[in-house]
Amino acid sequence: MISVSGKNWEEYNTNKRIVEKIKIDNDLNEIQSKIVLSRNYTKEEIYLIKNSIDLKNPFYNTKDFIFACELLRKNFKSQSNILIIGDYDVDGCMSTSLFVNFLKKKNAKFNYFIPNRFNDGYGASKI
């Protein structure tokens, strides 16, 4: 897989048969099955994963979320330029990468910027 910055990321090779067996036996998707395999989870740990994860987006349908969706719709329609200002930590880089991939699929006009913590400091600043 090629990252936003052009670096190549490689996934560990896993035994496809074992991954498929974990999927079927535990009703998991492929990514979950690979994680279970790579971390050597026990049956009890798999049970806890399946029965304790409640993924909900706390921002979904909030005033800001709805405003951001409308702003994106307007930008897609008018083909306006979009600038993503990311962050240099792990979750910031990942969210920037996900958003870049989403905008590419939408054929949006965009650019992104990930500030340098030493040159640009912390938080948003004038560029």
pLDDT tens-place string over residues 10-58 = 777 888 999 999 999 998 888 889 989 989 999 888 888 777 666 677 8
Domain that holds residue 42: 1-55
Q: Say whether both 68 and 111 belong to one domain.
A: yes
Give the Å distances, CA to CA, from 6 to 2, 9, 47, 96.
Answer: 6, 9, 38, 14
End residue of a domain, out of 32, 55, 78: 55
Contacts of 116 (CB under 8 A, 6+ apart): 88
Confidence of residue 3 (pLDDT cuts 50, 70, 90): confident
127 assigned to some structural domain:
no
Same domain for 8 and 46, yes or no, is yes
Residues 77 and 97 in one domain: yes
In a shared domain, residues 45 and 87: no
pLDDT for 116 equals 83
Domain assignment present for residue 126? The answer is no
pLDDT, average across residues 65-84: 93
- Looking at the 3D structure of the chain, how many domains does it have? 2
Same domain, 72 and 89: yes
Single pTM value for the model? 0.54
Do 48 and 3 belong to one domain? yes
- Amino acid (one-letter) located at 61: N
Question: Exposed, middle or buried by CB within 10 Å (0-12, 13-18, 19+), for 72?
Answer: middle
Percentage of the chain exceeding pLDDT 90:
45
Alpha helices in 57-113 (DSSP H): 63-78, 90-105
